[in-house]
Structure 1
């Protein structure tokens, strides 16, 4: 077993069907399970300031997977085929989040281990919306006003997104369908090349395709936020140039801080900022390390934040931790053939200390409290903290969403 098993009360999703009868009964991890030991060095006044900032700010996770992982990774294949994913709604309400960009496992699950197809995506999106509709205090955000209203009303807003547009194949109108179903953010590619462009796994990135240009144009016209987090460098630059609206890198870091393909080079980050875009700092295990901090923790993650702020300006940086509830590192290993860890996480022979979890940024519940504490500890102003906690994302969405 990889962690304590969830209690019956933790299975909050899909209250109108029966677990084990209507869908798989794989045992999932206890969402309250913690291994992080990080605690910022704050006095009483600073701790109250953290509480106030989290209470007053619109706090937005630019990218997360707020679902529960299996308690035993031996169940991973059954888990990946289960479309009724359990979301930790109670834990999310304790996180301080106003909104979360919810990018479910649309690239590595479904009926095929090689990734979802169109019918998998539409089916799971419908199931996801049905689940949210049956949760108290939870809403789907389709406009900026929906996020702001959620803050006023003490609700939790979900922004529907997908990490790859590969499922649209060469059918441009499928973007319209997804928009109609609530999708407001789309990654162009996930690691492997597709009909839109090249991914980070490819040795040669051919850039945004002719169809990719059409897709970006359609997303702009509809008001869908373009994301190039998993796109190759050339495809990322092409998309930034092709888009009439600012775009996003919802979850990544800086290659200047840690030299792997999963991170973005400075020229891409600079171009993103020059066009008004926003970078969300990644925190998934074995991604945002640093040359002087090779055991990933909140400290190495914040090295990327500091570099990005210095390079891009604080108004173009936010956080997309890309975390889950459960043993994320073991999950990475279990699906390494799909995510291509041998290529996109290759550090060119640099010594890397493997971790069981990212201390301080282990799951969506703790992420933003610890980020806020770190920012307070390191002397950032209230206005800068509010900007990176969500204000920068709200500004971007105001320019992109129709």
Structure 2
């Protein structure tokens, strides 16, 4: 990974407070060096220099990540950490990532994952407000609300953070809550997170009822507000309905091709094509045991890039980006702890895979784009092609969506 950004001054989350007095303190996972560095790339000195220059000289955007630091001892501390609603941002890791901006999908720690039937409105606002308070006490991360903020971050050697939510479940049947979320700074939102809600069906449901009438109303409001829409965790019919209902291009921020790996968590190529025909972009996923492939069934950078090369052939390079969906800490252990609420069994279906401790080469936000760009350089992609998939394609959609 890269050296720390010069604009980063060493700030640590909530350091303006006293741990143990103002909030419960937990021993957190290492942001850097938690697992061995990836050894799968063999770049020449010239190739490494080119890859590093592409990272430092250009805008680089993650379409989906969770750049929070989780407890080192998950079994003991996770529930208390999540219920506290005070997520720790991985500033030190992000400062070495090479990213210009990251779509930070707030974990909604006090509700959606720690208890079934979560996504409570008041808890989501609590989590968003807490994160924004932390950001307001430092100068490295910039809260992104418009395209100019991403450009500002790039020009100043800083990093932009785009607040996002994986589902709109918490708005219940009140469409005006989308306006409130927008006012808080949310700029991207999913329709449903695996389970059905008032807008439509999630990917785990036996029967996909499609976008509801209220869901159509919500999509129309998202378009008017300038909220980018994501269908990564929505069912296939619901996703298609959203594609048709939206007057603006939409995202699949973090998934892959079902033709490469046949699970519900991936999207069928026909659906991906329908999205891209209306200008949308897919961000490639790298959360553990998702974007596997027959050629690389042990999840690694190579597995994810099998989805990349396939989708470049299917929909064109101009519609592909990266949404790694990584975090700082034991992501596999986190999935184990949340397995019932995350619907992992339903998402994977009957496909067998070999469980791993981490995704080799795409383990956390600090290393993802360092290795992705290195892979693209090694495999002969041009500078313009690399710029397109690490930011240009995303920016093209945002220029149309963010009003």
TM > 0.5: yes
Distance (Å, rounded) in 2 between the aligned partners of 1:218 and 1:37? 43
Question: Does residue 1:243 correspond to 2:283, yes or no?
Answer: no
- Once the two structures are superposed, what CA deviation does each residue of 1:37-71 show, in whole Å capped at 9, x if it has no partner? 33411111111100111112100000000111111
Partner of 1:257: 260
- 3-state SS, counterpart of residue 311 of structure 1: helix
Question: Does residue 1:293 correspond to 2:296, yes or no?
Answer: yes
- 3-state SS, counterpart of residue 243 of structure 2: helix
- 3-state SS, counterpart of residue 292 of structure 2: coil
Q: Where do residues 248-397 of structure 1 align in structure 2 (5 Å cutoff)?
A: 248-346=251-349, 348=350, 350-397=351-398
Distance (Å, rounded) in 2 between the aligned partners of 1:111 and 1:280? 23
- Once the two structures are superposed, what CA deviation does each residue of 1:249-269 show, in whole Å capped at 9, x if it has no partner? 100011000000000001110
Distance (Å, rounded) in 2 between the aligned partners of 1:88 and 1:224? 25
- 3-state SS, counterpart of residue 102 of structure 2: strand
Question: Does residue 1:96 correspond to 2:76, yes or no?
Answer: no
Contact 1:64 1:364 in 2 (8 A): yes
- 3-state SS, counterpart of residue 390 of structure 2: helix
Q: Where do residues 25-64 of structure 1 align in structure 2 (5 Å cutoff)?
A: 25-32=25-32, 33-64=34-65
> How many equivalent residue pairs?
392
Q: Which runs of 5+ in 1 are unaligned?
A: 1-8
Distance change (3 Å), C-alpha of 1:178 and 1:96: same
Distance (Å, rounded) in 1 between the aligned partners of 2:95 and 2:221? 34
Question: Does residue 1:76 correspond to 2:78, yes or no?
Answer: yes
Contact 2:106 2:128 in 1 (8 A): no
Distance (Å, rounded) in 2 between the aligned partners of 1:69 and 1:322? 14
Distance (Å, rounded) in 2 between the aligned partners of 1:243 and 1:111? 28
When normalised by structure 2's length, the TM-score is 0.94
Partner of 2:68: 67
- 3-state SS, counterpart of residue 387 of structure 2: helix
What's the CA shift for 1:343? 0.7
Distance change (3 Å), C-alpha of 1:111 and 1:292: closer
Distance (Å, rounded) in 1 between the aligned partners of 2:389 and 2:346? 30
Distance change (3 Å), C-alpha of 1:189 and 1:111: closer
What's the CA shift for 1:110? 6.3
Distance change (3 Å), C-alpha of 1:342 and 1:180: same
Distance change (3 Å), C-alpha of 1:104 and 1:196: same
Q: Which runs of 5+ in 2 are unaligned?
A: 1-8
Distance (Å, rounded) in 1 between the aligned partners of 2:82 and 2:348? 22
Distance (Å, rounded) in 1 between the aligned partners of 2:36 and 2:348? 24
What's the CA shift for 1:10? 8.6
When normalised by structure 1's length, the TM-score is 0.95
